[in-house]
Amino acid sequence: MLLDSATGTHSVLTKEEKTAIQEQMERLVASSYFSHSRRFPSFLRFVVEQTLAGHEDVLKERTIGIEIFGRPADYDTSTDPIVRVTAAEIRKRIAQYYQDAGHEHDLRISLPAGSYVPQFQLPHSSPITDAGSAEHTSLLENPSSELSATAEVKGWNSWKLFVSVALILILALGASLWMWRSARRTPFEFFWEPMLTSGDPILICVADQKQYSTIALRDANDQSRQTILPDNLIAVVYDDLSPTVKIAGILQANGKKYSLRSESTTNLTDLRGGPTVFVGAFDNTWTLRLVKPLRYHFANDPAMTRLGIVDANAPTAMRWFVDRTQQMATNNYRDYAIVARFTDPTTGKLAVISAGVGRGGTIASGEFLTDSSNLAELMRAAKAAGDKKNMEAVISTQIIGGEPGSPKMEAVYFW
């Protein structure tokens, strides 16, 4: 349907109007807001073309996920928010396009919140002046000065009343839309949407443990024979791979570009390039630096036999710690981790932390950040705290025989 901005009425689209909409759609997808992505143009073209063809009924989340993103027919939309995340980003990019100079009089294509059916709006036009109204106005142009002043005051008061009512309605509508949007967010959207909707690629910064100058290669014809050759290798802790793979899977599932770098090869310029996920704590310099100013941060004794997390509100007490002696002797202990999402003041970019005191804690942190039930608990706490943008939580897990159990949230802070 075409919405006339001057009258607010809908009309059936003519062939010429459909052509104009398609041309405007092509201008949108050719703009810098869409041209650097494959999924945004595909999404917009699909919903516009289906609407022009009269197939609005097929524009459902699952159908779009199957048709545009290649999801299986039975995929779980509650744990895979790619359609909702993409739609939110498209709404933002469309708004940015029309805010640019030169697009004030363009035919407008919009994607209303909560819907995947686009609307098309004619450019703003000046209302046609009614002849009777003009005649009536002319009769009032030269009355007595007293009557003129009275009419002017009444008109001004009416205008003030109109503006006041309009502002109240706009504020009420905005608040309602915000509450409706917040109520519909899934736990994954709550935590990951700011990262997924960023226009920049995401960097995953993983701890590296050791560099090797040689590599052992096996003979293809005689696998029992090995040859040691010079090389330059960086080793990654095996337990850090678990959260790295889980988080990378979320990014991949949502079509988000990312790169993987070791902490020793990551520099400040890299971190200023976009959001970063930091994996690992005591073996990742960047994690320790970024978490240090936060309420919950890592600490240790000089001998590095007690590693843990302290609360800045009680800095002398290490509430959550791992005794390395017990850890190495029994492989049965309670481990802890920090999970966080915040804007780093140094880089101005989003940072996500997935870092354990011990290796089991890091595994548990990755599970926490990629599990809907755990994120739902964090989301409830965030709502109770006023839905602030930055968050940090301490989690724990019981290690038995070196294997971590389910994560448990111990403390949380929002700002």
Q: What is the mean pLDDT of each run of 10 residues along the chain (415 residues)?
A: 49 84 92 86 93 92 92 87 90 89 88 91 51 36 44 52 58 48 72 92 84 70 80 65 90 90 90 95 94 96 93 89 88 93 95 94 94 92 94 94 89 97
Distance CA 173, CA 67 (A): 33
Q: How many CB atoms lie within 10 A of CB 321?
A: 20
Residue ranges per structural domain of the chain? 2-121, 131-184, 195-414
pLDDT, position 47: 94
Q: What is the pLDDT of residue 368?
A: 95
Q: Quick one: pLDDT at residue 356?
A: 94
Q: How far apart are CA 234 and CA 211, in angstroms?
A: 4
CA distance 333 to 304: 17
Contact of 231 with 212, CB cutoff 8 Å:
yes
- pLDDT for position 139: 33
Pairing type for strands 2-3 and 408-414 reads unpaired
Task: Compute the residue count for the chain.
Answer: 415
Between CA 324 and CA 332, with CA 329 as vertex, the angle to 5 degrees is 80
Question: So what's the pLDDT on residue 160?
Answer: 58
At residue 121, the pLDDT reads 87
Q: Which residues of 213-226 are buried (b: 16+ CB within 10 A; e: fewer)?
A: eeeeeeeeeeeeee
Query: Which H or E element spans position 398?
Result: strand 391-400
Determine the pLDDT at residue 306.
92
Q: Under a CB-based contact definition with an 8 Å cutoff, are residues 230 and 217 in contact?
A: no
pLDDT of residue 38: 82
pLDDT at 213 (0 to 100): 62
Q: What's the CA gap between 369 and 190, in Å, rounded?
A: 11
Taking residue 396's Cβ as centre, other Cβ atoms within 10 Å add up to: 22
